[in-house]
Amino acid sequence: MSVTVVETIAELRALLAGRSTALVPTMGALHEGHLALVARARSVADTVVVSIFVNPLQFGPTEDLDRYPRTLEADVAKLDAAGVDFVFAPQASEMYPGGAIDTTVTAGQVGTLFEGRTRPGHFDGVLTIVTKLLGIATPEFVLFGQKDAQQVYLVQRMVRDLNIDTEVIVVETVRENNGLALSSRNRYLDEWERRAALSLSTALEAASSASDRGIDAVLAAAQSVFTGEDLVTLDYLAVVDPGTFLPVDDDYRGPARVLIAARVGQTRLIDNQLVHLGG
């Protein structure tokens, strides 16, 4: 095995000193979407480091922190085959040696919307751990998947606002052949739920097809897909301005991102798609 697994901050800093590095932050349970980030990382930097850390700060008290899949051995094997140089897999005690921390990065108003409304404090936890990882690895590049659109927006804004000398590279959502966006939580779905989960990508396709007729048509087309889907409970369906991540006005024309979140059985999934309102 050529990949090196690193568990401490001091060792990772020593290994990365003087290297041109691309960082791929993950929580493990890796799939082809993560490997697409790795492939892109290998194309832009001499050294690729993938972090695997299930960050407790981004889980609420009723969320699935304990249930979240942890498959480190299998993940390391995949990353070794993908040509990753280092896997940073710290314990929580390494990242938060004193337990809960007082200094955090806040996501502001946008962090309270959509995913942030359903998962209060989630994005503060995300931005805090990303800031810590960027400070530890000091990479030239950091890579994220477009599936987590709100996370991407907030990380890009944070890097810009705080003058962090790292370029954020966004890789398009990787999907199964049937259109289902890859997610570590897909493994929770049974056969019937996997079929029902296709309604998310189908709704986005319907929204895109209706985009030349404006926001009302987009929302109506997407919502109609869920009629009769007993296994799917829609959490939110929204259309936002990509530049602000705030909901667009009724008369908005131009590029927009359609966001969707739903619970399929007991599993919560998200997806999104860029459209152009008004033709």
Residue positions annotated with a catalytic role: 34
Residue 28 and residue 5 in contact, taking contact as beta carbons nearer than 8 Å = no
- Residue 245 falls in which region: left (phi positive, over 0), alpha (psi -120 to 50) or beta: left
Rounded to the nearest 5 percent, the helix, strand and coil shares of the chain are 40, 20, 40
The DSSP bridge partners found for residue 111 are none
Q: Which residue from 186, 65, 170 is spatially nearest to 122, judged by alpha carbons? A: 65
Is the four-CA dihedral 62, 66, 67, 73 of positive or negative sign?
A: positive
24 SS3 class: strand
| Integer-rounded Cα radius of gyration of the chain | 19
Q: Please report, as a single letter, which amino acid is at residue 136.
A: I
Residue 33 and residue 115 in contact, taking contact as beta carbons nearer than 8 Å = no
Distance CA 246, CA 248 (A): 6
DSSP string for 185-242: GGGG--HHHHHHHHHHHHHHHHHHHTGGG-HHHHHHHHHHTTTT-TTEEEEEEEEE-T
